[in-house]
Amino acid sequence: MGEPGDPQLVGTPVTFTATATGGGSNKEYEFAVKDPVSGVMTVLRPYGPSNTFSYAPTITGMHTIRVFARNAGNPATYEAAKWMAYDVIALPGTSVTWMRARQVPSR
């Protein structure tokens, strides 16, 4: 599965591409994301023929993406699995600086 460069900004979509090898020629893929706060893994893309998955995290933290792959039609939960974690950070805050103009005495 392709890995994003760390860290990524909140709201930035990342596309993951999984490639399963071996077995038959027709594969299906399931993608899930582990919430960095609750630790709950949630399937966001049920099994289907697409091996790509786009995800735009809405909170900061260490996000874990999981892909299951299997031969199409196989009732097994999965035949192959891969996990990948990447860090998501907040957008940099806006800052402002200023300088006071130096007063020149009048003559």
| Domains parsed from the chain with CATH numbers | 8-89 (2.60.40)
Whole-prediction pTM? 0.79
Per-residue pLDDT at 21: 92
Joined together, the tokens standing for residue 38 give: 């609750």
Q: Identify the H or E element spanning 16.
A: strand 14-17
Joined together, the tokens standing for residue 23 give: 């077995």
* Residues 13, 46: Cα–Cα separation, whole Å: 19
Could you list the beta-strand ranges (E) of 49-104: 52-55, 61-71, 80-89
pLDDT digits (tens, 9 = 90+) for 56-100: 999 999 999 999 999 999 999 999 999 999 889 887 766 677 777
Task: Tell me what percent of the residues of the chain surpass a pLDDT of 70.
Answer: 84
The residue with tokens 């005495």 is 105
Joined together, the tokens standing for residue 51 give: 């091996």
The tally of CA atoms less than 13 A away on the side-chain side of residue 63 is 26
Cβ–Cβ < 8 Å for 43, 32: yes
